[in-house]
Amino acid sequence: MSTGRARHPANEAGRLARSTSILRPSTTCARFTSILPTADCRAAEARKSEGSGEIMLSTIQPSRAVPRIPLRFPCKTITTQSHRKFSFKPLSSSSSSSQSQSQIDQSPPPQSQILNIRNGLLSRQFTATQLAESYLNRLRLTEPLLHSFLHVSSSVLRQAQEVDLKIQRNEHLGPLAGVLIGVKDNICTSDMLSTAGSGILRNYQPPFDATAVKRIRDLGGIVVGKTNMDEFGMGSTTEASAFQVTANPWDITRVPGGSSGGSAAAVSARQCVVSLGSDTGGSVRQPASFCGVVGLKPTYGRVSRFGLMAYASSLDVIGCFGSSVADVGSLLHTISGHDRLDSTSSRRELPDFTSQFIAANNMNSQPLKGLKVGLISETIGDGVDTQVISAIQGAALHLEELGCTVTQV
């Protein structure tokens, strides 16, 4: 499935030149592959095709076969229904000759990594330190090829150890305790540089945290680093950064989208659990699509913009990336709410975005019953990749199982 346009040859040549020094995997990396989202360390080492000079990253693609932390609450598996409430417009032979109803993607939605991490920590299956070490090892393996991060925090392991101490003392854990989170580099952090991808700010370290970052830290989240972006958000490929070009984890010869390409690529490659981006005209939604993750631009005013370097103040919004809707909902719930430091932040009551993800019997009910969903005809029409069509149809079937009425428009 196509994940974006190919790179400009000049940019590609420079990026490949920077990628020749590949870090060797740590011997500790494979210790927790049964419970953590890490690939086989030996297979994840970069390879070059003989004679072509092409760097291959297929071994670290974020496939569904990547081991995940064991699920500890019921999850409903989608089954094919013979009595769907909607019907698809017949597709042209060019796009549907190999597409049949049996080929619709019926795999269950991705599990919530945030909830699984919390359950694993509380049940002592693993420690926050072990979790952090695994993600950092994966980051060391993949970063020389992806260039998702501009800065990586030196205090990740120390913060993880603090989480472990709280668990040992039976102290209260925040909902994001031990969760590694990437932050786009135009969102201020007091302990790391915040350059917005620009050489002008290459040495700028804010004296404060953005409100969204502060709320993450207050609830136990660990900011693993600052992600690459198009300079000041002015781009859609993450090739316009003053420092490096980010690759798409599914195909490193292609772009990850932008301007929040580093945040999208980091989640897609499992370098972090979730991440923050910013969206003015698509800078979260577009790279999420390119990298195969969930991206959300919240309603304007839902999330404080304090600490976000402005592009267009009346349009800018801090958004979220995750591998599942549940993870994005959990992160959104954390960073949402009125902020006296942002006069444009909403005073409206904050909905509980997380209750439906936590309820043990939720997946056996219909939490979206009565909701009407429009399925845009062009998304499954002529010229659309059959894999894209399959994924969209599978999502529509899943929404129906949750109680929605899906109508083609």
- pLDDT greater than 90 at residue 80: no
Specify the pLDDT at position 152.
97
The residue with greater pLDDT, 279 or 41, is 279
The answer, yes or no, to whether the previous bond of 87 is cis (omega within 30 of 0) is no
Specify the pLDDT at position 111.
78
- b/e burial code for range 82-119 (CB count within 10 A of at least 16 → b): eeeebebeebeeebbeebeeeebebeebbbbbbbbbbb
Q: Which region holds residue 220: left if phi is over 0, alpha if psi is between -120 and 50, else beta?
A: left
Specify the pLDDT at position 120.
95
- pLDDT greater than 70 at residue 40: no
Whole-number CA gyration radius for the chain: 21
49-58 per-position pLDDT tens digit? 333 333 333 3
3-class DSSP assignment, residue 95: helix
Specify the pLDDT at position 368.
78
180-198 per-position pLDDT tens digit? 999 999 999 999 999 999 9
Specify the pLDDT at position 97.
38
What gap in Å lies between CA 136 and CA 320, rounded to an integer?
A: 21
What is the H or E stretch that residue 217 is in? helix 211-218
Tokens at 57, concatenated:
């990253």
Long-range CB contacts for residues 73-76, cutoff 8 Å, separation at least 24: 73/115, 73/119, 73/360, 74/360, 74/361, 74/363, 74/364, 75/108, 75/111, 75/363, 76/108, 76/363, 76/364, 76/401
Phi and psi torsions of 285, nearest 5°: -65, -40
Specify the pLDDT at position 365.
63
Q: What are the catalytic residues? A: 184, 259, 283
Neighbours of 350 (CB within 10 A): 12
Place of tokens 């980010």: 246
What gap in Å lies between CA 214 and CA 179, rounded to an integer?
A: 14
Mean of per-residue pLDDT scores for the chain:
79
Could you give the C-alpha distances from 225 to 115, 137, 181, 262, in angstroms and in order? 22, 14, 8, 11
Contact 116, 34 (CB under 8 A): no
CA 232 and chain centroid, separation: 21
Instruction: Report the pLDDT averaged over residues 363-381.
Output: 83
What gap in Å lies between CA 169 and CA 177, rounded to an integer?
A: 14
The residue with greater pLDDT, 84 or 349, is 349
Which residues are CB-neighbours of 169 under 8 A, at least 6 positions away?
Answer: none
Q: Which residues pair with 222 in a beta bridge?
A: 180
Specify the pLDDT at position 96.
39
| Domains of the chain, first to last | 113-357 (3.90.1300.10), 359-408 (no CATH)
Alpha helices in 284-361, H assignment, sequence order: 285-291, 325-335, 355-358
pLDDT class for 11, splitting at 50, 70, 90?
very low
- pLDDT greater than 90 at residue 332: yes
Nearest to 319 by CA among 192, 144, 187, 180: 187
Tokens at 367, concatenated:
């939490």
12-27 per-position pLDDT tens digit? 434 433 332 222 223 2
Neighbours of 395 (CB within 10 A): 17
Report which DSSP code applies to 389: H
Specify the pLDDT at position 353.
73
What is the H or E stretch that residue 392 is in? helix 386-401
pLDDT class for 364, splitting at 50, 70, 90?
low
The residue with greater pLDDT, 72 or 120, is 120
- pLDDT greater than 50 at residue 392: yes
Contact 240, 231 (CB under 8 A): yes
- pLDDT greater than 60 at residue 320: yes
The pTM of the full predicted model, rounded to 2 decimals, is: 0.74
Instruction: Report the pLDDT averaged over residues 325-330.
Output: 93
Could you give the C-alpha distances from 256 to 109, 146, 261, in angstroms and in order? 22, 10, 5
Specify the pLDDT at position 15.
41
